[in-house]
Structure 1
Amino acid sequence: MIYQLLFSPTGGTRAVADALCPGQVIDLCDRDRDFASVTLTADDVAIIAVPSYGGRVPVPAARRLAQVQGGGARAVLVCVYGNRAYEDTLAELADLAEAAGFRVAAGVAAVAEHSIARQFAAGRPDEADKAVLQGFWGKIQAKLDAGNDTVPTLPGNRPYKPGMAKAMVPRTSKRCIGCGRCAAACPTGAIDAADPRQTDPARCIGCMRCVRLCPAEARSPDPQALAALSAHLEPLCAGRKENELFL
């Protein structure tokens, strides 16, 4: 069985994973799921895909993956980033996967539209990306079929770089209709279900899922903070970065 263990608040990571290889989804964004009850076996293959948040694995994804029982399943690790850099994400993801009982077989670094400053890597993964990712899977499948258990050398440093000090917490405008869709879908439960206009900044990870899901377009990043981030990213995101495979 092929599983996709996904942390994909805004859909970019899932689009990459689907282009690589479809599988049964285990949603690491589901804050109500008992991940300790998720058990795989040595016959399974797990695509473990997360976005890079400041060069690290998102904290909720790390905590939930740590509860999963890998059972010796072979793991294909996927780090998705917004055309800047992914730094220590794959190294950290490998450590988490191994600690959870997975056998790391391959790693992929892939580009998707930046979740906050969406002008960077806009529209990615595009058709060219998808063709590359499908080609990657052919090579990964060949390694799995050959029973090759060599562990790939993945980029990244240990100790990891410090995590993000502060998330960009979306604002809520007067257009909010109080439907509660954002609160129900928030991966960390940062939005008050009784009053969705209220967001706990200590729990928010700035994933922007609420911004994408809001039917009234009532949630958005702070304009000044977004402008500052865009200016910072402009030189770092210049040029098209390509997807990478590590076998």
Structure 2
Amino acid sequence: MKIHEICFSPTGGTKRVSSMLSRALTDETVEVDLTAREVDFGQVELSPEEVALIAVPSYSGRVPTVAAARLAAMHGNGARAVLLCVYGNRAYEDTLVELRDKASGAGFKVIAAVAAVAEHSIARQYAAGRPDAEDEAMLRSFAARIRRKIDDGGLDEPVIPGNRPYRKAAGAGIVPKATRACVKCGLCAAKCPVGAIDAKEPARVDKKRCISCMRCVAVCPHHARRVNRLLLALVGRMLKKACSQRKACELYL
């Protein structure tokens, strides 16, 4: 069985979880990178016999706007879809139900959904090291159940938690800045999912475009981009109560 792994993962956490799940489902995958600005997602077209794994991070309990727009441009044509939302151990709130709506709107037939945890992309002390061995074992068990449903031809849609209307989308707010270590190599600008960074002057960032995904921080080979330390400490304190207790992966089938 071939799976189209459609993934939006600016810092790699969502991709790690997605890869664990896809590898447990099949040994044949076709990757579609939702962070790639140069891709014409309107050319992505599946058939009713195919299966997609659609993976996104939860940004303040919502699907990242750019990921939703790129998914909406695709043509699912009735292909079965397994949804995956990955969050930083706080909560995923309306992410899965919104992802279900976007996938269905693009023509996919949702048959399963998974919520899983990865290291928080901003306050990295939360869910550090996740997904870990315990997560992987749980994802493998989920994959076995999902695979049985696929092999049996099951098409019933699972009941997915969340609210409509969705919670109000949060503004970006946290914009990483270039430090003196920046050599203007341009990698951050090239890899930014929304083109918010000036390629010639990486210190210039379009704050209206920035989605606080932390891709620029993750990819910089010189560790020359960072979030203001005071702001980072404040975010850490705000999240402490909600993020300190370990959350488990969840399956909706």
TM over 0.5: yes
Residue pair 1:21, 1:134 contacting (<8 A) in 2 also:
no
The amino acid across from 1:237 in the alignment is C
Residue among 35, 41, 45 paired with 1:35 = 41
C-alpha deviations, 1:11-45, integer Å up to 9, x for none?
Answer: 00010011101421100000111000000011111
In the TM superposition, residue 137 of structure 1 has moved relative to its aligned partner by 0.5
Q: Which residue of 2 aligns with 1:12?
A: 13
Matched, 1:226 2:232: yes
In the TM superposition, residue 105 of structure 1 has moved relative to its aligned partner by 0.4
C-alpha deviations, 1:45-91, integer Å up to 9, x for none?
Answer: 10000000000000110000000000111000000000000000000
Matched, 1:166 2:141: no
Secondary structure in 1 matching 2:212: coil
**How far, CA to CA, are the matches of 2:75 and 2:172 in structure 1?**
31
Secondary structure in 2 matching 1:177: coil
Residue among 53, 61, 70 paired with 1:55 = 61
Matched, 1:198 2:199: no
Residue among 115, 122, 127 paired with 1:121 = 127
Residue pair 1:173, 1:219 contacting (<8 A) in 2 also:
yes
Q: Which residue of 1 aligns with 2:81?
A: 75
**How far, CA to CA, are the matches of 1:104 and 1:64 in structure 2?**
17
Aligned residues: 247
Q: Which residue of 1 aligns with 2:215?
A: 209
**How far, CA to CA, are the matches of 1:186 and 1:135 in structure 2?**
34
Q: Structure 1 vs Structure 2: percent identity of aligned residues?
A: 54
Q: Which runs of 5+ in 1 are unaligned?
A: none
Q: Which runs of 5+ in 2 are unaligned?
A: 24-28
The amino acid across from 2:166 in the alignment is Y
**How far, CA to CA, are the matches of 1:5 and 1:166 in structure 2?**
24
In the TM superposition, residue 167 of structure 1 has moved relative to its aligned partner by 3.1
**How far, CA to CA, are the matches of 1:225 and 1:153 in structure 2?**
38
The amino acid across from 1:199 in the alignment is V
C-alpha deviations, 1:130-169, integer Å up to 9, x for none?
Answer: 1110110000000111111110000100000000123310
Moved over 6 A (4+): none
Residue pair 1:7, 1:13 contacting (<8 A) in 2 also:
yes
1:169-180 equivalence runs, <5 A: 169-180=175-186
RMSD: 0.7
Secondary structure in 1 matching 2:203: coil
Residue pair 1:35, 1:67 contacting (<8 A) in 2 also:
yes
Taking structure 2 as the reference length, the TM-score comes to 0.96
The amino acid across from 2:124 in the alignment is R
Taking structure 1 as the reference length, the TM-score comes to 0.99
Q: Which residue of 2 aligns with 1:45?
A: 51
The amino acid across from 2:15 in the alignment is R
In the TM superposition, residue 215 of structure 1 has moved relative to its aligned partner by 1.1
**How far, CA to CA, are the matches of 2:244 and 2:222 in structure 1?**
33
Secondary structure in 2 matching 1:150: coil
The amino acid across from 2:11 in the alignment is T
The amino acid across from 1:114 in the alignment is H
Residue pair 1:6, 1:50 contacting (<8 A) in 2 also:
yes
